[in-house]
Amino acid sequence: MCDVELDPGLRRDAGKEKTMTTTLPDRLSNDPRSPYYDEELLAKGIGIRFKGVEKTNVEEYCVSEGWVRVAAGKALDRRGRPLTLKLQGAVEPYLQHPAADAGEHAGDHDAE
């Protein structure tokens, strides 16, 4: 009956939106020269599941195109960068320590 619209910060689900602030990009690289490099996001710890198996040697990924670039052993190219292989398949990025991030923020508020 009331046509008053509440401020978005006063809604019951406002807290839920704030917990989902870290969305992982479609494409991410750990090479600083790449346009898909994001230092802040990489510092949080990104894990990759490729075809259901966790990979620790992923250099770059793209979810929409379904591929990852993985380091090919310890081999380096002539510029000193690792040689990579592009593998096709299902890619699932995730944050490695999402609960730890929430705990760090809670500790910051106590110190103030």
pLDDT for residue 15 is more than 70: no
Q: What is the mean pLDDT of residues 90-104?
A: 73
Point out which residues pair with 91 in neighbouring strands.
Answer: 50
CA neighbor of 37 nearest in space, from 57, 59, 54: 59
Domains in the chain: boundaries: 25-111
Question: At 71, which helix (H) or strand (E)?
Answer: strand 67-76
Question: At 103, which helix (H) or strand (E)?
Answer: helix 98-111
Tell me the per-residue pLDDT of 36-94, one tens digit each, with 9 for 90 and over.
999 999 998 999 999 999 999 999 999 999 999 999 989 999 999 889 999 999 999 99
Q: How confident is the model at residue 96 (pLDDT cuts 50, 70, 90)?
A: confident
* Ramachandran sector of residue 107 (left: φ over 0; alpha: ψ -120 to 50; beta: rest): alpha
Q: What is the mean pLDDT of residues 1-17?
A: 46
pLDDT for residue 95 is more than 60: yes
Tell me the per-residue pLDDT of 61-74, one tens digit each, with 9 for 90 and over.
999 999 999 999 89
